[in-house]
Chain A
Amino acid sequence: MEESKQPKYCKYLRAKNPYGMLEGGENPWMIPFESNTICWCIKSSGASGPDNGLVHPDKCVEGRSCYKPAFD
């Protein structure tokens, strides 16, 4: 099977906008991002991640120090 070209989001990312909730890693269907989308990290329970950086689908991807994949 061809590997998905979508970014691999951190499993702790959550984002919500009026048409639903994105769960990082598992089912990132809620693209495109919009100006009213709220993002938070499950692990830090807030808008800044464990590394004090901004939580956002652009940011919560492989390479960030606090990133955790959906499946180890």
Chain B
Amino acid sequence: MDKRKEIFPHGIPGHNLGEIEREIPNDEPPAWPINDKLKVVGKRIRRNDALAKVTGSAKYTSDIQLPGMLYAKMLRANVPHAKILSIDTSKAERHPGVRAVHVFTSDDEGSKYQDVKYAGQPLAGVAADSLDIAKEAVALIEVEYETMPFVIDTEEAMKEGAPLVYEEPIGEQTDGGDVGVTHDGSEGKGNLRGPTTSSFLGGARGDLDQGFSEADVILDRTYRTQVHTHVPLETHGVVIDWKPDQMTVYASTQSTKGVRDGLASYFDLPKNKVRVICEFMGGGFGAKHSAGTFGPMAAELSRKSGRPVWLMLDRKEEHIAEGNRPNSIHHLKIGAKKDGTLTAIQQKSHGTAGVALGAGVGRIAQGLYTCPNFSTEQYDVLTHAGPGAAWRAPGNVQGAYGLEQAIDEIADMLKTDPLVLREKIDPSEVRKVLRQRGAKSFGWKYRPPGSDTGRIKKGIGVAQSTWPRFVNLDSTVEVKMYSDGTVEVRSGVQDIGTGTKTILAQVVAEELGLKAEDITVRIGDTIFPDAPGSGGSIVTGAITPPARNAAYLVKQKLFNQVAPQLETEPSMLTVSDGMIMHKEDASKKISMRDALRRMRTGQIEASASRSDDYGGFQQPWGLAYGDLGSVQFAEVSVDTETGFVKVERITAAHSCGRPLNISQIESQVNGGVIQGVSYALYESRVMDNKTGHMMNANVDQYRMPYAKEIPDIDIVLVEEYSARSSTDAYGIGEPANIATAAAVANAVYNAIGVRLYEIPMTPASILKALNKVEQ
């Protein structure tokens, strides 16, 4: 492809802003200046769906009503481990109002039914004229179980002789990867799988023994985190209408493409026979990338009944079966010299994602600080509990909770301000600026742990995070301009509530010299071009460059038609404030609306897909250069008589490349911080080890913060230009959530002078730490 050279802004305004030359494809637009010279991008533009949301006219999946629609409910296993001998649906089928019944069966050569491996595993479903009738009918289904021993507790599951989740060995490997012999003596026949010893950042480095021998201080600690469920306001679910020519799926999903492709595979359908629509979405946080079990069930019931089927999960189902953040038992041994230089980091972790994998503690100990000697061993522990799922910065939140407390402890051992220690060991330029500006805004003035007096003790803490810049190249956008002056953006990408619709309008409006409200954005539908799922903070960096590039291409088409009318060349035209004008002759101009009205065709359009980053990627699959850093500061009050902790305020200093919409970024950070506070102090899945059931599968006993428990949140946003794409923008979903719990934990320690090594930090655990109740 032909390329040209362009000069881009590069660096951090107010710190090291300069310019850099990049080679870019000829069909992509010139560099934008920094945000203060732009009209729409980087501004506090109101969400283009705000009115629909606040007036209730926005239709979420659970609001979908179709003619003849049935309501479905699933039957779930009430034991945690069993073989199923029979499932009798005859009474349910005869129940008045029932229109279809479906039982999940296995087409494998063994049993007719899959084994039950956790309480809550879906077994069957009913579609009926009403939800109440469906519930009644589900209760009439009779299941005969042959129950088997089970294990819920993570450390019990690790022991030799524990009931097995998988009878076949789970540790065997075939691809030459990094899974070694497990350390429980089971050689892969137990519940322990691992260790994973590498990530895309590489594997172990240096010489740990040498590193520890060089250390003046060595910290050796274990940090524990709980299982944390997602609790989106809108539960998982679908409405499916399977007609002979097409299956139409209304889904609460983070990936329209993922649901389409999953259902097409399940039913051996061509992809173009499955259409997935998600116009509005009520939160996901990582757990809504697939059709789940409810998708195939609703589709089967729709096929059997010939009618649309509504199947939304209730809150209990959401807690027990649709994902969670795995727990962690996270061991860190860290050596440091007197000047703070880290000499060695040895990490070992165990965690359970129930019957699933994915319970590691991420890459944060591997990549956040300079340390020449590093190794990690991360183990999955299989238990008879509901499966884990991606959860806002998978693994790295657990990892940061351990690492960032360990760094705090080393600062304590060295009698150093923890912020000063981080300045010494953190190589990131952007986090240097985040620390400086964040500390100033917070008013950071370090005081020794436990130095506050009185019953209510105040403390301050800081923690950091890193998150990579991921780019998904399967990201396409189409821009259309119509002869009536309207402009439309189309893509399959979904807006999970973060404001994707609005930033697409802003980017296209900026390129076309229009206002954001002039742009209609149609997304969340697989009839439009494919785009990535909303995960990994990937969407903004993946979808906004092709949106701008498509707008640029369609603008060039319009210029080609307008130029003869203005007796000039297309290259001499530009746009601003709804006008097309000559760059040098102010008398030659035409309004965009008039230009479109005079087109030879009723519409012009262009589409663009995400191109490689300018200057290439760190790794070709889409790992971009750079970092999405954060530094968060917390102030807490601890009542030493009752044990109650109040997070008074958080200063969250963040960077995400070129900010596109300040208000929406602040919303994302607010959400991440609130979830982090809740993780640190409140939320925890409680399992009954004797029955295998979750005991707090609701939003009452599964404690979440009330409005008054949410801290004041001060956001410091740092622009950082790296000149890697036509928008130079990235997401912020993950980074907003990673550091909060660690910052709060460090602040609690600073307040009371006693460190808790486990979250949630409840009143009971605070009082235990203070020796005010019996251990």
Contacts and interface: CB of A to CB of B under 8 A. Distances in A.
Nearest to A58: B173
B175 A58 contact: yes
| Residue in B168, B378, B380 with the greatest tally of chain A CB atoms within 10 Å | B168
A71 to B, nearest CB: 12
Contact of A54 (B170, B262, B388, B533): B170
Given A16-B535, A58-B173, 7 more contacts: A34-B200, A35-B358, A35-B359, A36-B394, A48-B166, A52-B167, A58-B179
B90 to A, nearest CB: 25
A53 B168 contact: yes
B196 A34 contact: yes
A19 B357 contact: no
Interface string A1-44: 00000010001101011111101000001111111111110111
Interface of B: 104, 106-111, 114-115, 117, 121-122, 166-168, 170, 172-175, 177-179, 193-194, 196, 198-200, 255, 258, 261-262, 265-266, 289-293, 295-296, 353-362, 378, 380, 382, 387-390, 393-396, 468, 470, 472, 532-533, 535-536, 538, 621-623, 734
A33 B196 contact: yes
B362 A32 contact: no
Contact of B362 (A11, A19, A35, A54): A35
B355 A46 contact: yes
A38 B382 CA distance: 13
A16 B284 CA distance: 15
B303 to A, nearest CB: 16
A66 B536 contact: no
B739 to A, nearest CB: 16
20 contacts: A16-B533, A17-B394, A19-B200, A19-B468, A19-B621, A20-B535, A21-B533, A35-B361, A36-B358, A36-B362, A38-B358, A38-B390, A39-B358, A46-B355, A47-B353, A47-B354, A52-B106, A54-B382, A56-B170, A66-B108
Contacts of B389: 38
A64 to B, nearest CB: 10
B374 to A, nearest CB: 15
Q: What 6 A-B pairs come out closest when comparing CB atoms? A: A35-B360, A47-B356, A36-B395, A35-B196, A18-B536, A35-B378
Contact of B536 (A14, A19, A29, A49): A19
Nearest to B292: A45
Contact of B258 (A21, A29, A66): A21
B265 A42 contact: yes
A12 B263 CA distance: 10
| Residue in A35, A36, A51 with the greatest tally of chain B CB atoms within 10 Å | A35
Contact of B470 (A19, A42, A56, A61): A19
Contacts of B356: 38-40, 46-47
Contacts of A38: 353, 356-358, 387-390, 394
Decide if the interface of chain B is mainly helix, strand, loop or mixed: loop
B109 A32 contact: no
A15 B151 CA distance: 25
B296 A45 contact: yes
Contacts of B395: 35-36
Interface of A: 7, 11-12, 14, 16-21, 23, 29-40, 42-54, 56-59, 61, 65-66
A30 B397 CA distance: 22
Given A35-B196, A44-B106, A61-B174, A52 B115 contact: yes
Contact of A32 (B170, B200, B622): B200
B168 A32 contact: no
Contacts of B378: 35
Contacts of A20: 470, 472, 532-533, 535-536, 538, 621-622
A47 B387 contact: yes
Nearest to B293: A45
B470 A43 contact: no
B110 A51 contact: yes
Nearest to B172: A58
A49 B121 CA distance: 13
Contacts of A43: 107, 266
A49 B356 CA distance: 11
B364 to A, nearest CB: 11
A14 B200 contact: no
A58 to B, nearest CB: 5
A7 B622 contact: no
Given A12-B265, A38-B353, A46 B121 contact: yes
Contacts of A50: 106-108, 114
B35 to A, nearest CB: 27
Contacts of B734: 18
B167 A30 contact: no
Contacts of B387: 38, 40, 46-47
